[in-house]
Amino acid sequence: MYISEQDVRALLTYEALIPAIRQALIDYSAGKVEQPARMILRAGNAEGHRNGWFAVMPAIHGDAMAVKTVTFYPGNAELGLHTHMAVVELLSRATGEPLALMDGRLITEMRTAAVSAVALAALRPAGARSLGILGSGVQARAHIEAFRHVWPERGEIRVWSRTQANAQKLAAEAGARAASIEEASAADVVLTVTSAPAPILEGSRLAAHSLVLAVGATGASLREIDDEAMRSGTVIAESRSCAERESADVRSSGAKIYAEIGEILSGAVAAPATRRVLFKSVGMAIEDLTAARLVWQARGVRSASLPAH
């Protein structure tokens, strides 16, 4: 059975996904998830930034198993195509039976934003009102939508992009305003969702109390965050081992990871006492499995509610 992106969009909601991702992150940090390192191969289709990659991401959790195959082709943006594309296969853990193959592009989009929403709910500084976004693509839009579910009292959104027209377009869509990088970086909560090869967020621009949600620039050589920003606060990771293996922001800066977000959520580790916190995510297979399970369950409920013919 194949479940299309259109069907995934109809079945998967942030109302269900955010709490499910929260529990999955707790379970991951508690050792209840089997998840080997992501296998990444370079496509060798082009030189420089147009060179894509292909990754395989398996996981086992609870009653299910899943594997996502995902591609990232930065040059696709110039062709009017999605830069990320994926499929997820969901299987029964009890029998190994394949349950469904489903489009994974939207699953990747939504589970990434849901992870950030979970971290935002747990780590947001008291009294935070402003959101600064560095980036104006798919993930920027997804995060704005996901954040509405955990931060309804949010005030101003400031959007910066290397392409000013893109920032203005997103701002118009989201009821935000296009801003300079200095203004966006000085917000109470700062979200970075770019594929920048070199740091764009500078520690000197951050407010003393800020929460940084660093989502983009995953890879051994890509960086969004400069050394000062990485070292000047407490670093929380989605996964300690994944961030230390796959994030150049962590590896190159020498920043130390205080805890995983699942440890904070479960109470195994105390929330950081410092005023500035940086949350780094790189994406994990357990998140794809969690979202795919919700799609499968929602499809079953919908199918059961349809009249028989």
Mean pLDDT, the chain, as a whole number? Answer: 93
Of 157, 152, 126, which is closest to residue 140 (Cα–Cα)? 157
At 159 the pLDDT is 98
Report pLDDT digits (tens) over 178-193.
999 999 999 999 999 9
- Grade residue 150 by pLDDT with cuts at 50, 70 and 90: very high
At 249 the pLDDT is 94
Q: Where are the domains of the chain?
A: 2-107+286-305, 125-282
Average pLDDT estimate for 77-87: 88
- The whole-model pTM stands at 0.94
Token pair, residue 86, equals 């994926």
pLDDT for residue 62 is more than 50: yes
For residue 254, the 8-state DSSP code is T
For the domain spanning 2-107+286-305, the CATH number is 3.30.1780.10
At 83 the pLDDT is 85
* 125-282 shares the fold of 2-107+286-305: no
CA distance 257 to 47: 33
pLDDT for residue 274 is more than 90: no
DSSP, collapsed to helix, strand or coil, labels residue 240 as helix
Report pLDDT digits (tens) over 191-211.
999 988 899 999 999 999 999
pLDDT for residue 305 is more than 60: no
Burial 29-62 (b: 16+ CB within 10 A, else e): beeebebeebebeeeeeeeeeeebbbbebbbbbe
Pick the more confident residue, 241 or 273.
241
DSSP, collapsed to helix, strand or coil, labels residue 227 as helix
Q: Show the CA angle centred on residue 18, arms to residues 265 and 222, nearest 5°.
A: 80
At 304 the pLDDT is 56
Average pLDDT estimate for 265-280: 94
Report pLDDT digits (tens) over 210-220.
999 999 877 77
pLDDT for residue 98 is more than 60: yes
CA distance 249 to 270: 24
CA distance 273 to 254: 21
At 19 the pLDDT is 98
What CATH class does 125-282 carry? alpha beta
DSSP, collapsed to helix, strand or coil, labels residue 279 as strand
Q: Show the CA angle centred on residue 289, arms to residues 284 and 293, nearest 5°.
A: 155
Pick the more confident residue, 153 or 112.
112
